[in-house]
């Protein structure tokens, strides 16, 4: 048995000329939550499909729960639960029937399967929809039912492929709460997402992928430092104040700000977040500078890609993209 729940080395998956995975390494410790973060087409689903043995890699090796994906796919499958990007529950069955059927497929026996179904419906706040057909569920309810379905057999490791894509903010928050519970129970989770915010909220480790390659990795703090973190920005009413504001911003941000004379704006990375903005507001008031806008903006995935690849997503051809975090740091 290996120490990590998931270990992958040099995974390559080709579709024709296209490398959906182009040498991916991954380590996910037991009990950890790892987010694969990347835009559409980055290779996230392919990575999940390879690790869950739904498709074989062209090169590279991986173990899941200590089992080799090539040599022992049956044990790999037995140790994991997969919530795929497309819903897997049956719309013509009720919530309870769906979960019971899955329990029976896992040989739980009818009575145990029914009890497990009710337990999960309760845990996922779906008990009121117990006897409703799944096709009449809202998007958020359906995702929760999907998630519940993956948990019926109490898998060691959960794979969640874009669990909240397409959900409205409220349904997304509800799902995050459910995932928080799973995390608190010590589940090992590999999830994929296009949202930095989601990776930040849920994951211990974030692996940024693009064009089938890992372009950065780290916890959210490290990653945010790499992508520049929060940005302070000030727009002044009078262009003549720009120099004075640049000085103030530099003092607070402890780094040279970017001045855009045309937009009458000054911006700089802000380590201190909200504290930095309070300090800035105070200093601007003291200096009696008229301000049109003052704010703190968080980096978006686009900002992250811009910083990490030196080009907006989609990034340059894979052969032009450096893979390792060290090179990413050097380019900063």
User: Which of 43, 60, 163, 299 lies at the binding interface for ligand ADP (CB under 6 A)?
Assistant: 43
82 binds ligand ADP (CB under 6 A): no
CB of 183 to ligand ADP, least distance (A): 22
Q: Is 56 in the site for ligand ADP (CB under 6 A)?
A: no
Interaction between residue 34 and ligand ADP (CB under 6 A): no
Interface pick for ligand ADP out of 7, 28, 45, 50 (rule CB under 6 A): 45
Among 38, 60, 95, 163, binds ligand ADP (CB under 6 A): 38
Name the residue with the smallest CB distance to Mg ion. 45
Q: Which one, of 149, 145, 143, 159, lies nearest residue 36 by Cα?
A: 159
7 sits in which H/E element: strand 4-15
Instruction: Select from Mg ion, ligand ADP, none the partner in contact with residue 40, using the beta carbon and a kind-dependent cut-off of 5 to 8 Å.
Output: ligand ADP
Q: Which two tokens stand for residue 64?
A: 């899941």
Of the pair 165, 258, the CB lying nearest ligand ADP is at 165
Other beta carbons within 10 angstroms of residue 122's beta carbon come to 12
**What whole-number distance in Å separates Cα of residue 221 and Cα of residue 210?**
20
Q: Which are the contacts of 165, defined by CB distance < 8 A and separation ≥ 6?
A: 85, 193, 194
Give residues 45-64 in contact with Mg ion (rule: CB under 5 A). Answer: 45
Q: Kindly tell me the burial class for residue 87, based on how many C-beta atoms sit within 10 Å of its own C-beta (0-12, 13-18, 19 or more).
A: middle
The interface partner of residue 20, options being Mg ion, ligand ADP, none and the CB cut-off 5 to 8 Å by kind, is: ligand ADP
Which of residues 23 and 39 has its CB atom nearest to Mg ion in the complex? Answer: 39
User: How many binding residues for ligand ADP (CB under 6 A)?
Assistant: 11
Instruction: Name the token pair of 236.
Output: 């002044």
In degrees rounded to 5, what are phi and psi of residue 158? -110, 135
Q: How far apart are CA 296 and CA 35, in angstroms?
A: 25
Binding residues (CB under 6 A) for ligand ADP: these are 15, 18, 20, 38, 40-46
Binding site for Mg ion (CB under 5 A): 44-45
């Amino acid at each position: 048995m290996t120490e990590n729940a998931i270990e992958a080395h040099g995974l390559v998956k080709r579709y024709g000329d296209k490398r959906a995975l182009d040498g991916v390494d991954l380590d996910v410790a037991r009990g950890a939550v790892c987010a694969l973060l990347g835009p559409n087409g980055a290779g996230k689903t392919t990575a999940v499909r390879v690790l869950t043995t739904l498709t074989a890699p062209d090169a590279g090796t991986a173990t899941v729960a200590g089992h080799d994906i090539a040599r022992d796919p049956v044990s790999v499958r037995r140790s994991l639960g997969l919530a795929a990007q497309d819903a897997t529950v049956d719309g013509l069955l009720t919530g309870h029937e769906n979960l019971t059927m899955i329990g029976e497929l896992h040989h739980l026996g009818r009575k145990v399967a029914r009890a497990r179904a009710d337990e999960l419906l309760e845990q996922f706040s779906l008990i009121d929809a117990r006897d409703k057909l799944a096709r009449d569920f809202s998007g958020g309810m359906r995702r929760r039912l999907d998630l519940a379905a993956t948990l019926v057999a109490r898998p060691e490791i959960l794979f969640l492929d874009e669990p909240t894509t397409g959900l409205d903010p409220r349904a997304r928050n509800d799902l995050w709460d459910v995932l928080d519970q799973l995390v608190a129970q010590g589940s090992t989770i590999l999830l994929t997402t296009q949202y930095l915010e989601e990776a930040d909220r849920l994951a211990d480790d974030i692996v940024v992928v693009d064009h089938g390659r890992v372009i950065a990795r780290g916890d959210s703090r490290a990653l945010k430092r790499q992508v520049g973190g929060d940005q302070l920005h000030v727009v002044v009413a009078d262009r003549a104040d720009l120099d004075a504001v640049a000085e103030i911003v530099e003092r607070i941000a402890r780094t040279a700000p970017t001045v855009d004379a045309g937009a009458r704006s000054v911006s700089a990375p802000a380590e201190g977040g909200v504290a930095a903005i309070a300090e800035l507001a105070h200093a601007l008031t003291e200096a009696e500078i008229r301000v049109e806008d003052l704010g703190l903006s968080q980096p978006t995935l686009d900002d992250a890609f811009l910083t990490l690849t030196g080009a907006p997503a989609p990034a340059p051809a894979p052969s032009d993209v450096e893979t390792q975090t060290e090179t990413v740091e050097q380019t900063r």
